[in-house]
Structure 1
Amino acid sequence: MSTKTPPAGFRPSYETCTEPGPFCPIQATTLGYYPNQGVNIFLAIGYGLAALITIVTGVWKRTWGFSIAVAAGCALECVGYVGRCLLADNPWNGDAFKIQIVAIVLGPTLVCIGLYLTLKHAVTALNRSLSRVAPRLYPLFFVPADVSCLVIQAIGGGIAASAGPGKLDLLQHGNRTIMAGIVLQVVVLLCFGTLSGDYLFRAGRYFRSGNVAPEYQAGAALFVDKKFRTFIWAMGVAYAALLIRCIYRIAEMQGGWGSAIMQHESSFIVLESFMVLIACVLLAAFAPGIFFPQMSHSFAAQEEDKRPQTESDSAGTEMERV
């Protein structure tokens, strides 16, 4: 191949380029830059440690649903940033590009499931009568809704990945599908935040009223417990970080692949990478099994051992666990 002029009809793409060169400049890649390898190594290690800590704590404290969802999300993020480390060596590595796109887009969706599972257990432990919705309905709505966001984004990613050279329309369809999934995720997150904020406001007003019914004294004690309040604050900050990340993703995808926002690494690192890492670290460090033990299966088993139950009562209690 001549070093002066490219072959007739040549267009740089992940199918025609394997490494940077005269006809395959870095600027022609979707990202348009060499990812910062040091930052991405740090992020990959951070997500890997968060996944490991979440799994260990989950097995120890038996918070199965929460731990599996959050650890899977952290693991996906870790894989995604390993992909970006490979892109730091060669931005034309098509496989690494696809890996980081899919993993980093889908990872936070799984992490959100961990948040959704906490609301049901918080309502059950504090005072379920204050909730506008039956506690068991929270995961029945939010988890499938979140999975729907994941599926839509995965479909969009598959469409975009299948768009070869000259298939700009197919690429744009994939882009719009991904963005639809992210917009839906923002809507789901906003609904979750509204319901959570409403319940915590009602619970705070009730427990501070000085007129707490005897059956809710345990909830009143939990509401002022320092560990539980720390857990709620950690979940709140994690929620805010994930919401910021999703809003950023909408702005990024709005301009399409290779947009000015997508090619601005600093905004990606701050508003995507570190927002999700903050959420993952908080969920791992302030694990519910330690700071909110009422969410664990171990706590449920201990409570059941303290009092006799009829067979139907036991079945009902088990149905309340996730």
Structure 2
Amino acid sequence: MSTTIPIATITSVYASAASEITGVLASLSTETGRATVISLQMQAQNLEATMSYYSLLGDLATQTNSESAQAIQTQVLEASQVIQQLFSSQAFYQGRFPSVPGNGIMACLYGIFLLLHFLFGFLTRQWWFMTCFTLGLTSEVIGYIGRIESHYHMLSLNPFVIQLVCITIAPCFLLAGVYYLLAQLTVVMGDKFSKLKPMHYSMIFIVCDLIAIIIQAVGGAIAATASSVYESTRPGANIMVVGLAFQVAAMSLFQYFWYDFLYHCYREYKLNHGSGFNPDYQHVRDGKYFIHFLVVICVAVLLVFIRSIYRLIELIEGFTGTLASVEIYFMLLEALMIVVAVTLLTIAYPGFVYGLKTDIVVKKGISFHPKEKPKQPDLEKAVASEKLRVESDSNYSGRTVFDELTDDNKASSNTRTPPRIFL
């Protein structure tokens, strides 16, 4: 019975493995470093399995008895399974190769979105939103290229770490852009409908986002360092879990403020037909796609939220868990969620929704609410000052500033409190 592999090839591979294992065993006898010893032991196991497999192939190639050949064939299959098990235990993704077409498509899509957001940002002058999405999409592109590289180098640590860190933290940058949208929309509608001032959204949630990025990056670095010396990656993964949990908590709080803001805006529209909205941005609210834009933000935030929960559970399971190693879960709950969110926010780009000539500036400051009354002049000081002026003025007409202020106060009491303005 013959094999499909030539005898010369079998002999050559076996001889090469035998020569290499001799050097590995010699190094192993003198090496004391823990990481190096583990690496050499793994090499020795792989070489022994390879020699056993090719030795059986050689026997099978020269065997003429059919019954003996069948028995050897069974041993060949068992030796092949041993090699596969060794590979799965040593390779990342539990030996499951990342899809080159799938990850290649994602890298191309994010590359296209990156160019579009860069162009749209300059056209509409949405500098913060453009910067956040440029950073996030760049991170996505690098991450998916890392997954493609992992397909060809399954035992290499660097591609795995690149894809892990970049794809994990990329949505944090995207969220930083979305958080700023709420600050802008608070200005457009009027901050009396929001529990926080516009700038507070940027200050609170973007800072939370940065904290989440730092924690996850540190966790990824610790996990990578541990993996490089064959130590447990659990401590690093736990730190990444903390970062993701913090991100999920911040997103939950953001959604509370977001939906509370939408609710109060909706009530104003139903009860007062929007008369209390900021009149300076009436043209933005009258835009054809403004309501669609609000829906897009709701959907995009929900998609990123679902993705973040998935990554949180994935890291709790660990890098060898089912969610981390079976790519279909990754493609559905990571890639699909984020690419749909980015697609929506590219189609409904905020700069086009607001208008090319509209500049929504989120300022620090205070505002007067309609229920608040502006501070009235100090009448006592005015009367005292007027008496002094009258005593020194021989042409006094009989009408004082006090009378004028009193008339002004009466007139102002019959008028509606001025709308809320920013100082």
On whether the aligned pair clears a TM of 0.5, the verdict is: yes
1:67 aligned residue (130, 154, 160): 130
* 1:299 equivalent in structure 2: 358
Q: Judge conservation of contact 1:26–1:34 (CA < 8 Å) in 2.
A: no
Distance 1:15 1:220 in 2: 70
Q: Which amino acid aligns with 2:114?
A: A
2:199 match = 136
Amino acid in the other structure paired with 1:258: T
Does the 8 Å CA contact 1:17/1:92 hold for their aligned counterparts?
Answer: no
Q: 1:271 aligns with which of 333, 340, 345?
A: 333
Distance 2:43 2:221 in 1: 16
- Mark the CA change 1:82 to 1:94 in structure 2 (over 3 Å): closer, same or farther: same
Q: For residue 165 of structure 1, what is the aligned residue in structure 2?
A: 229
Flag the 1:179–1:17 CA change in 2: closer, same or farther, 3 A. Answer: farther
Give secondary structure in 1 for the equivalent of 2:272: coil
Alpha-carbon distance in 2 for matches of 1:82, 1:74? 12
- Matching residue of 1:226: 288
Work out whether 1:89 is the aligned partner of 2:163. Answer: no
Q: 2:268 touches 2:276 (CA, 8 Å); kept in 1? A: no
Distance change (3 Å), C-alpha of 1:242 and 1:191: same
1:190-269 equivalences in 2 (<5 Å):
190-210=252-272, 212-213=274-275, 216-217=278-279, 222-223=284-285, 225-269=287-331
Moved more, 6-15 or 58-67: 6-15
For 1:66, give the aligned amino acid: F
Which ranges of structure 2 fall in alignment gaps of 5 or more residues? Answer: 1-16, 29-36, 51-82, 362-420
- C-alpha contact (below 8 Å) 2:188/2:360 kept by paired residues: no
CA distance change for structure 1 residues 132 and 10 in 2, over 3 Å: closer, same or farther? closer
Shift in CA distance, 179/16, structure 1 to aligned 2, threshold 3 Å: farther
Structure of higher CA gyration radius = 2
Farther off after superposition, 124-133 or 62-71: 124-133
Asked whether the 8 Å contact 2:205–2:250 carries over to 1, the reply is yes
CA change 1:262–1:215 in 2 (3 A) is closer
The alignment of Structure 1 onto Structure 2 pairs a total of residues equal to: 298
Q: Which residue of 2 aligns with 1:177?
A: 239
| TM-score, normalised relative to structure 1 | 0.83
What does residue 101 of structure 2 align with?
Answer: 38
Asked if the contact 1:127/1:219 (under 8 Å) is kept, the reply is: no
Equivalents in 1 of 2:156, 2:126: separation in Å?
39
Alpha-carbon distance in structure 2 between the residues aligned to 1:129 and 1:245: 32
- Write the letter of the residue equivalent to 2:292: T
Q: Distance in 2 between matches of 1:172 and 1:246?
A: 19
Q: Secondary structure at the match of 2:340?
A: helix
* Contact residue 13 and residue 29 of structure 1 kept, 8 A: no
Q: Does the alignment pair 1:115 with 2:178?
A: yes
**1:302-313 pair list within 5 angstroms:** none
Q: Which amino acid aligns with 1:194?
A: Y
Identity among equivalent pairs (%): 23
Q: Deviations over 1:197-231 (max 9, x none)?
A: 00001101101213544764565664464311121
Of structures 1 and 2, the one scoring higher in RCO (CA 8 A, sep 6+) is 1
What's the RMSD between the two structures over aligned residues?
3.1
Q: Which amino acid aligns with 2:325?
A: Q
1-structure distance, mates of 2:360, 2:39: 63
Evaluate the alpha carbon distance shift between residue 4 and residue 17 of structure 1 in structure 2; reply closer, same or farther with a 3 A threshold: closer
So what's the TM-score if we normalise by structure 2? 0.64
